[in-house]
Amino acid sequence: MNTVTVRRFIGPALLISAAVLVGCERPPVDVEQTGYRGTGMQNPENPRMRERDRARHEAPDALSEASDSGPRASEVYENVEVLGDLSVAEFQRVMRAMTEWVSPEQGCNYCHVDGDFASEDIYTKAVSRRMLEMTRHINANWEAHAGETGVTCFTCHRGENVPEEQWFYEEDDSRFPGAGNRQMQNMPSSKTAQSSLPRNAFDAYLEGDREISVQGDSALPTDHVASIQHTELTYSLMMHMSDSLGVSCQVCHNSRAFGAWDQSPPQRTTAWHGIRMVRELNNAYLNPLTSIFPDHRLGPQGDVGKINCATCHQGIQQPLYGANMVDAYPSLVGAADEDTREMDWEMETDPSEEIETDGDGEMARFSAEEQERQLYAERLSRYLDDRE
Ligand code: HEC
Ligand code: HEC
Ligand code: HEC
Ligand code: HEC
């Protein structure tokens, strides 16, 4: 090559490298070891991004304590179903806190008719009552996930009427007959951390109870055959979990054996409980509210906004950096298993008829897809029936 040709290459080469590097994070990056030395289990974190986002994850100060003496709320007010045992002062303190957490701009009248607190005419009041029950249920019965930290309305709402992170069913993705079906894939979406994986993993795992397991114990496909579709859905969920917590897969897995529990850090167990918790919250608390919400709050398929890992975590490993949320609000901790309605729902899918394990990959894939379509059809017709 002569100098002129070399020059002709250097310019574009520099431009291309600059363009590639723009997408990189500037070093140094903190790396935390998450497993035994030599296993490559590490979680990189950028301290500058952490600083930048710090304010977003700051928990608000608790309101000053209220007196516990005097008559109970149930003796003074008309329509109190959940917080009746509180003193009137504490009841009002919780109302003020809820206002700060959910409707700081609109104030009390976001849930109340002006001048008539007992009225049940505004739907947000009915929703809030159920949200109170849900919050109390999480804090009382999901210690396996939320620990001593617990949650308040703020954990999800952050001062907004509707949490920033929630999910709806996808719109029908099929094209006109004969033009193929995209299978909910290959479109960028925050649900899959912008990967090309399917966008309907939440339906299967954070609402339905399909098994999340794709690996067999041997190299041969003898003991365990998961379809390609099932595998893609699993990876899609895993991308969401990593993304919602802002962590690498290695915070929960030793990537030489994703399935092996005995090589997994304790975070994986916490996450396992988290998946079950989210399923329950969506089925027992959110879905039954569908008919109460006005149309503009529902998704394109007429479904209610539902919870995923990001609803609480919002990009970090411990929501609000692990700030204790419940100590200052003991009234947001319910009684253990007080809410018997929690089991009042049926699983969307029956795991026993899940994936065909006859070793025929194509058949298995087809039947899983067929099932998925039926799931949508059933859900839609149920929804239409409910609305009539
Ligand atoms: C995000 C919704 C929401 C906001 C905002 C809110 N409340 Fe409430 N309020 C409720 C719910 C839900 C109940 C019923 C609680 C229960 O059943 O235990 C209630 C009940 C009440 C009652 C009892 C009324 C009765 O006679 O039954 C009073 C009083 C009250 N709220 C005052 C307030 C005040 C004052 C504010 C503003 C500082 C406020 N609320 C803000 C949701 C809200
Ligand atoms: C926050 C913890 C967490 C993170 C992060 C995470 N996983 Fe998982 N993973 C789990 C849990 C929990 C299960 C088991 C789920 C169940 O059984 O309900 C699982 C299951 C799996 C499985 C199925 C294993 C089997 O038994 O067949 C694979 C594969 C997998 N994860 C891959 C990944 C990949 C790839 C990433 C990174 C993109 C990742 N995971 C990130 C917690 C996590
Ligand atoms: C685990 C997450 C979570 C917690 C905790 C939570 N919420 Fe919600 N809330 C949601 C989701 C998700 C929706 C959205 C449903 C939709 O829009 O379809 C919602 C919707 C609402 C709405 C309806 C808002 C509107 O304008 O339509 C109100 C009011 C509300 N929540 C009040 C509360 C109160 C009060 C608390 C605490 C006692 C609370 N929430 C705790 C997740 C949560
Ligand atoms: C209702 C709110 C909420 C939702 C939804 C939620 N989490 Fe959590 N999660 C928490 C809280 C609170 C903690 C902190 C517990 C503590 O401090 O001990 C936590 C802790 C964790 C931890 C342990 C972090 C650590 O290193 O200590 C993991 C892992 C985790 N969550 C994964 C998940 C996954 C995966 C999902 C979705 C399937 C999920 N969470 C959904 C509230 C939530």
Percent over 70 (pLDDT), the chain: 80
- What digits encode the pLDDT tens for the residues 281-323? 999 999 999 999 999 999 999 999 999 999 999 999 999 999 9
**Interior angle at CA 317, CA 312 and CA 322, nearest 5:** 75
For ligand 2, the distance from its centroid to the CA atom of residue 140, given in whole angstroms, is: 26
Ligand 1 probe mutation, 74, 91, 95, 329, most atoms within 8 A of CB: 95
pLDDT for residue 34 is more than 90: no
Q: How confident is the model at residue 222 (pLDDT cuts 50, 70, 90)?
A: low
**For ligand 4, atom 41: residue with the closest CA:** 309
All structural domains of the chain with their residue ranges: 162-328+336-387
What's the CA gap between 384 and 388, in Å, rounded? 7
Q: How confident is the model at residue 15 (pLDDT cuts 50, 70, 90)?
A: confident
For the residues 73-94, what does the mean pLDDT come to? Answer: 96
pLDDT for residue 382 is more than 90: no
Q: Which run of H or of E encompasses 375? A: helix 361-387
For ligand 3, the distance from its centroid to the CA atom of residue 157, given in whole angstroms, is: 7
The pair of three-digit structure tokens given for residue 220, joined into one six-digit string: 């041969």
The pair of three-digit structure tokens given for residue 324, joined into one six-digit string: 């204790």
Ligand 4 probe mutation, 313, 326, 327, most atoms within 8 A of CB: 313
Residue 41 is predicted with a pLDDT of 87
Residue 342 is predicted with a pLDDT of 40
- What digits encode the pLDDT tens for the residues 347-363? 333 333 333 433 443 33
What's the CA gap between 307 and 204, in Å, rounded? 14
Which residue in 358, 351, 354 sits closest to 221, CA to CA? 358
Residue predicted with more confidence, 108 or 16? 108
Inter-residue long-range contacts of 73-79, CB under 8 Å, 24+ positions, other chains counted: 77/117, 77/118, 78/118, 79/118, 79/120
Ligand 4 shell residues, CB under 6 Å? 138, 145-147, 149, 151, 155, 241, 245, 267, 270-271, 274-275, 278, 307, 309, 311-313, 317-319, 322
Which phi and psi angles does 32 have, rounded to 5°? -105, 135
Q: How far apart are the first and last CA of the chain?
A: 77
For the residues 129-140, what does the mean pLDDT come to? Answer: 96
Residue 134 is predicted with a pLDDT of 97
**For ligand 2, atom 33: residue with the closest CA:** 238
For ligand 3, the distance from its centroid to the CA atom of residue 163, given in whole angstroms, is: 7
Among 198-202, 266-270, 369-373, the least confident range: 369-373
For ligand 4, the distance from its centroid to the CA atom of residue 309, given in whole angstroms, is: 7
- What digits encode the pLDDT tens for the residues 145-171? 999 999 999 999 999 999 999 999 998
Q: How confident is the model at residue 68 (pLDDT cuts 50, 70, 90)?
A: very high
What's the CA gap between 376 and 296, in Å, rounded? 21
**For ligand 1, atom 6: residue with the closest CA:** 108
CATH fold for the domain made of 162-328+336-387: Photosynthetic Reaction Center, subunit C; domain 2 (1.10.468)
pLDDT for residue 172 is more than 80: no
What's the CA gap between 45 and 31, in Å, rounded? 6
Handedness of CA 159, 165, 170, 171 (dihedral sign): positive
**For ligand 4, atom 23: residue with the closest CA:** 267
Strand-pair partners of 167: 306
For the residues 165-185, what does the mean pLDDT come to? Answer: 79
pLDDT for residue 346 is more than 50: no
Residue 378 is predicted with a pLDDT of 58
What is the secondary structure of 316-351 as a DSSP string?
A: SSSGGGG---STT-GGGS--TT--GGGG-S--SS-G
Residue 348 is predicted with a pLDDT of 39
Percent over 90 (pLDDT), the chain: 57
Looking from the CA of 358 toward its CB, the CA atoms found within 13 Å total: 9
Ligand nearest to the CA of residue 153, numbered in listed order: 3
**For ligand 4, atom 13: residue with the closest CA:** 146
pLDDT for residue 345 is more than 50: no
Ligand 1 shell residues, CB under 6 Å? 77-83, 95-96, 98-99, 102-103, 108, 110-112, 117-118, 124-125, 128-129
Instruction: Give the 3-state secondary structure of 244-269.
Output: HHCCCHHHCCCCCCCCCHHHCCHHHH
For ligand 2, the distance from its centroid to the CA atom of residue 71, given in whole angstroms, is: 51
Which residue in 179, 173, 216, 177 sits closest to 191, CA to CA? 173
Q: What is the CA radius of gyration of the chain?
A: 24
pLDDT for residue 219 is more than 80: no
Strand-pair partners of 113: 116
Name the pTM for this structure.
0.87
The residue assigned the tokens 């703020």 is 154
Which residue in 345, 364, 253 sits closest to 290, CA to CA? 345
The pair of three-digit structure tokens given for residue 298, joined into one six-digit string: 């529902």
| Mean pLDDT for the chain overall | 84
**For ligand 1, atom 24: residue with the closest CA:** 118
Q: How confident is the model at residue 338 (pLDDT cuts 50, 70, 90)?
A: low
What's the CA gap between 368 and 229, in Å, rounded? 7
